Amino acid sequence: MKRTITPSELKERHSEFTVIDVRRRTDYDGNVILNAEWHDPDDVNNWAKSLPIDKEIVLYCARGGSVSNKVLDSLLAANISARYIEGGIEGWKHSGGNIAQKKLH
C-alpha cells in the first residue's frame, strides 16, 4: 500500500477513513479537516490503541513531512492500516478541501 493519499482521493472517499490531525501543538491553528480529531504526535503509542479498526487511518500534519512520516511509521509497526495526506493540511487547503474550526482538547 502507498504511504500517501492525495487530497483529491481523500475528498472522493472521505467517509471511508478516520482522519487524524497530528500537527504539533505549536503548528495547530484551529483549522482542521472536517471530522478530524487531533492527537499529540509525541504520544502516538498511547492513543494508537484506541483507533477504530474498521476504517483506514489518514493522518496529516502541517505540510505532509516528518511529523506525518514518524506517526505513520509507528502505526504501521503496530499493524494499523494508515496513510498520510500529500502536502498535509496545506495541500488539503490548496486543493479546495473543507476546513472547520476546532479547539485543542
The SS3 call for residue 83 is strand
pTM reported for the whole predicted model? 0.93
For residue 50, give the CATH number of its domain.
3.40.250.10
- Cβ neighbour number for residue 53 with a 10 Å cutoff: 10
Per-residue pLDDT of the chain (105 residues), as tens digits, is: 799 999 999 999 999 999 999 999 999 999 999 999 999 999 999 999 999 988 999 999 999 899 999 999 999 999 999 999 999 999 999 999 999 998 886
The boundaries of the domain holding residue 81 are 4-101
Domain count, the chain: 1
